[in-house]
Structure 1
Amino acid sequence: MPKISVIIPVYKVERYLDACVASVAGQTYADLEIILVDDGSPDNCPALCDAWAKKDARIKVIHRPNGGLSAARNSGLDVCTGDFIAFVDSDDQLEPQTLERALTAQQNTGADIVLFDYLCTDENDRPLQGQNPVGRPEETLTPPQFWQKYFTSGDACTYYVVAWNKLYKGGLFRTLRYAAGKRYEDMFLLPHLVAQCEKIACLNFRGYRYAQRAGSIMSQGDPRNYLDRSEYLLDWTACFAAKGDTLRAEGLLNDAIENLAEKDRFDLSTPAQQQRYRTACRACADAYRDLAHRTGQRSMLLRAALLRLSLPAYQAFLKHKA
C-alpha cells in the first residue's frame, strides 16, 4: 500500500493541537507517516508533540528554531518518505475518510494532485454561516483547464491555491520547496507544482475543517498591503511567459504594477523594505522587456523603458494614453 506522509507545522496552537493530530492519526487510511514540525513554539506544543510520538509509532517529531510556516513545511519535506504528501495546519482537522478518499481518487484517475473541498469553521469547530457555498463539481483537469478554473473562480480560488486541501505525488517536491519568510507561500509554489502535472483531480468532498481564528496567518489583513503579493505576481508572470501564454503573463504583470503603484500601502520604514520595493519595480521593467522580445511588440519596450525610469513616469504615460 502507498504510504502518505502528513506534514503538520506546529506553532503556538496548544489549544488545537491534540484535536488536529487525533484527526490525522484516526484516518481510515492507516499507512501514514505523520511528521510534527515544532517550529520553536514557546508554549506547551513541544511537549504535546513528544507525547503523541510516544503514543503512535507513525508519528515523528522535528524540533527546530522558529523560522515560519514555509521553513517548517520544508523541514518536513526534507525527511518525509511517503509516496504521497499532504499538509495539515495544526489548528485544523481532517474528516476521518479524507486521505482514503483522496488516495482512491488518485488511483482511479492517475492524478498528480488531488484536491478536496473544505468546511470553514470558527475557533470552536462550528461551521461558519455563509462561508460554505454549495459544493463544486468533481472533475479531472489538465493544467490549462486547472488555470482556467482558477482565473474564473473569483473568491473561490482559495480551493485551487492552498497547500492543505491536497494530496500530492511525492515526486512533485523532489526539487521544490516553499519560499521561506514569505507570506502567501502557497502562491509562490503553485505554478511550479502545476507545471509538473498531467492531471489534477478535484473532489467536492469536504474533507478538511479549516478553522478561521484571530491571529492566524490568513487573518492578517489585505494581501495588497504586502510586497509578497507583487513578488508572487511577478513570479507567475515569468512562469506564464515561459510557457507561451504572454497574454496571461501581461495581465499578471499589470496586476503587480497596479499593486506597486499603491506605494502608501507598504511598510517601507527600513532600508531592506525600500530595497525590496525598488527591486520589484525594476523587475516589472525587466518583465515587460522580456514580453517585448517574446511577442515582438515594440510598445512593450516603451513600457519597459518608462518603468525603468520610474513608476510615476509610467503612470503618467498610462493616464495620458487613456
Structure 2
Amino acid sequence: MPTISVIIPVYKVERYLDACVASVVGQTYPDLEIILVDDGSPDNCPALCDAWAAKDTRIRVIHRSNGGLSAARNSGLDICTGEYIAFVDSDDRLEPETLERALRAQQRSGADLVLFHYLCTDENDQPLPDRTPADREEEALMPSQFWEKFFTSGDACTYYVVAWNKLYRAELFHTLRYAEGKRYEDMFLLPNLIGQCRKILCLNFRGYRYAQRTGSIMSQGDPRNYLDRSEYLLEWTTTFAARGDTLRAEGLLNDAIENLAEKDRFDLSTPAQQQRYRTACRACADAYRDLAQRTGRSSMLLRAALLRLGLPVYQAFLKHKA
C-alpha cells in the first residue's frame, strides 16, 4: 500500500499538465500513488495521461465522462489506496520536497490534517508577489481554534479552505465526498472535514505553486453571484447549530439571507434556477425556526414567519426595525 495517494483531476490543461505531473513524479518522497483523472477532456490530455502512466508505474489513469472537478476528485477517492491523500490541480505545481515535509510534520505531530502555504504564480510559473499571501504563524489547532482562525482571517481564508494545500489522513474521506455540480465545492466539504479532526497542523512552508490563469474556476467572478454560496452558507448554518454554536449559525444564516436578497445578482432564467432560489429562501425560514427551537428565542420564530412570507416582507421588517 502506498503511503500517499495524489489525486489530480485533469480537464483542458494540455499546456500545463506535463509540468504539473512532473512536479509530483519528482517529489523527494517517492512512495506515492498518483491518480490522473481525465474528466472527459476534449484536448490531448487523455493521451498525455496515458503516456505518463506508461513511464511511471506509480501512475494510474481514470478516463471518465465530464462531470466537473468534484466528480473527478470523487472518482480518485473511490479507488485510492494510500494512508494519506493529497490533491493537486492540474495547472499547478508542487515544490520538490512538499509531500515529504508535510508527511514528516504529520508524523511528528500526529495531526489528522496538515496545511502548507502557497505561492501565487502567473501562467508561465513566474511568482506574483502582489497576489501571494503573507507569511503565517506555524501552529497546531483544535477544531474550535481552526474556526476562530478561519472566521477572522478575511481574504486569507483561502489557506484554510482549498483542497490542494493539504495532506489528509485517508480515513477522513471514508464517508466524505465533494458536492458534485457545485461551485465552491471545498466550502461545502469543509465543516464535515474539520469536524472529524482532532488536530490540524498549519505550516508556513510554501509548498504549492498556485497558477493564476484566466478561465479557471477560481477566476469566474464574485461568489455572491452564484446560488451555491447561499446554499453552502445554509449548510454551514445547520452544521454549526447542530454543534451548539447557535451564535455562529445565526451569523451564517444572516449572510445567506443578505446574499439571497440581492436577487438581481443571480441567473434565474430557467425554471430549475428559479426553483433553487425558492428552495434556498424557504430554507432560511426553516433555519430560523430551528434556531428558535434550540435557543427558545421567540424573536427568531417571528423572523421565521416573516421569511415564510417572502424576502421583501422580511427586508421591510428589518428596515422598520432599524
Q: TM-score, normalised by structure 1?
A: 0.99
Matches within 5 A, 1:231-270: 231-270=231-270
State the SS of the aligned residue for 1:207.
strand
Moved over 2 A (4+): none
Counterparts of residues 138-177 of structure 1 (less than 5 Å): 138-177=138-177
Per the TM alignment, residue 51 of structure 1 is displaced from its structure 2 partner at its CA by: 0.1
- What does the per-residue CA deviation read over 1:273-294, in whole Å, with 9 as the maximum and x for residues that have no partner? 0000000000000000000000
Q: Match for residue 99 of structure 1?
A: 99
Written as runs of structure 1 = structure 2, the 5 A alignment for 1:193-204 is 193-204=193-204
- 1:130 Cα shift? 1.1
1:292 paired residue number: 292
- The residue that corresponds to 1:118 in the other structure is 118
Q: Which amino acid aligns with 1:213?
A: R
State the partner residue of 1:311: 311
Counterpart code for 2:87: F
Q: What corresponds to 2:187 in structure 1?
A: 187
Name the structure 1 match of 2:130.
130
In 2, Cα distance between the equivalents of 1:268 and 1:71?
A: 25
What residue is the counterpart of 1:42 in the other structure? Answer: 42
- Structure-1 separation of matches of 2:197 and 2:129: 35
Quote how far apart the aligned CAs of 1:131 are: 1.4
SS at match of 1:183: coil
Contact 2:27 2:99 in 1 (8 A): yes
Cα deviation, 1:263-320, whole Å, max 9, x if unaligned, reads 0000000000000000000000000000000000000000000001101000000000
Report the Cα offset of residue 133 of structure 1: 3.5
Whole-Å separation in 2 of the counterparts to 1:57 and 1:45: 18
Counterpart in the other structure of 1:21? 21
Rounded Cα–Cα distance in structure 1 between residues aligned with 2:35 and 2:186: 19
Aligned equivalents of 1:219, 1:301: Cα separation in 2:
39
- Aligned partners of 1:130, 1:78: CA distance in 2, in Å? 38
- TM-score norm. by structure 2 comes to 0.99
> Match of 2:217?
217
In the alignment, the residues of structure 2 paired with residue 131 and residue 13 of structure 1 have an alpha-carbon distance, to the nearest angstrom, of 22
Q: 1:85 is matched by which residue type in structure 2?
A: I
| Aligned partner of residue 137 in structure 1, secondary structure | coil
Distance 2:73 2:132 in 1: 27
Measure the CA separation in 2 of the matches of 1:131 and 1:212.
9
Gaps of 5+ in 1: none
Structure 2 letter corresponding to 1:283: A
Unaligned runs of 5+ in 2: none
Query: Match for 1:50: what amino acid?
Result: D
- Look up the SS of the partner of 2:177 in the other structure: coil
Aligned AA (1:211): A
* In structure 2, distance between residues paired with 1:132 and 1:79: 34
Query: SS where residue 78 of structure 1 aligns?
Result: helix
In the alignment, the residues of structure 2 paired with residue 129 and residue 77 of structure 1 have an alpha-carbon distance, to the nearest angstrom, of 34
User: Aligned letter for 2:153?
Assistant: S
Identity of aligned pairs, percent? Answer: 84
Please tell me the residue identity of whatever aligns with 1:82: G
What is the deviation of 1:134?
2.9
Which residue identity is paired with 1:173? F
CA distance in 1, matches of 2:2, 2:194: 22
Q: Provide the C-alpha distance between the structure 1 equivalents of 2:239 and 2:105, rounded to a whole number of angstroms.
A: 28
AA matched with 1:108: R
Partner letter of residue 170 of structure 2?
G
Deviation string, structure 1 residues 154-208 (Cα, Å, up to 9, x no partner): 0000000000000000000001000000000000000000000000000000000
Counterparts of 1:2 and 1:39, CA distance in 2: 24
**Shift in Å at residue 31 of structure 1?**
0.4
Shift of residue 2, structure 1, vs aligned partner = 6.0
**1:100-145 Cα distance to aligned partner (Å, 9 max, x none):** 0000111111101000000000000011131123310100000000
CA distance in 1, matches of 2:307, 2:130: 42
